[in-house]
Amino acid sequence: MRPAGVDFFAYRRSTQWAVCLLAVWFLLNFLDLATTYQALSTGRAIELNPFMALLIGVPVLAITTKMLLAYAAAKIVEKMDSRSSYYSILSLLMLDIYVALICAHNMRVCLGV
């Protein structure tokens, strides 16, 4: 018996993909912050994004800003999904891959590889 409320499986297949990729998007952005702070703590890294470099010293501000920017990107993709779900899926896939590569780089710095 499914609980009352939003039924994920009632959505179009493309919308289901978009929702899953959005969840991955937010998780990767959080992982990016965590690995960035870990890499910075090793002393072998610097923040290359000039905007985030201003905020990285205040973790609450950096986390809030990063998540708000991720949310703004998610809202843009949501608008795209209403026009064409394939563009939104492609955009989210590219964004997810991009942030995953950043996280992988941060982990390489943390591990000293």
Which of residues 11 and 32 earns the better pLDDT score? 32
Contact 74, 92 (CB under 8 A): no
Nearest CA to 98 among 62, 64, 51, 49? 49
Which of residues 36 and 11 earns the better pLDDT score? 36
* Residue 15 binned pLDDT confidence (cut-offs 50, 70, 90): confident
2 has pLDDT over 60 = no
For 87, half-sphere exposure in the C-beta direction (CA atoms, 13 angstrom radius) is 9
DSSP state of 2: P
Least confident interval from 7-11, 15-19, 49-53, 89-93: 7-11
pTM of the prediction?
Answer: 0.82
Which of residues 39 and 80 earns the better pLDDT score? 39
- What is the Cα–Cα distance from 104 to 33, expressed in whole angstroms? 12
pLDDT of 4 reads: 58
Residue with tokens 């000039």: 50
* Mean pLDDT of the chain, nearest integer: 87
pLDDT of 7 reads: 74
Cβ partners under 8 Å of residue 112, min gap 6? 42, 44
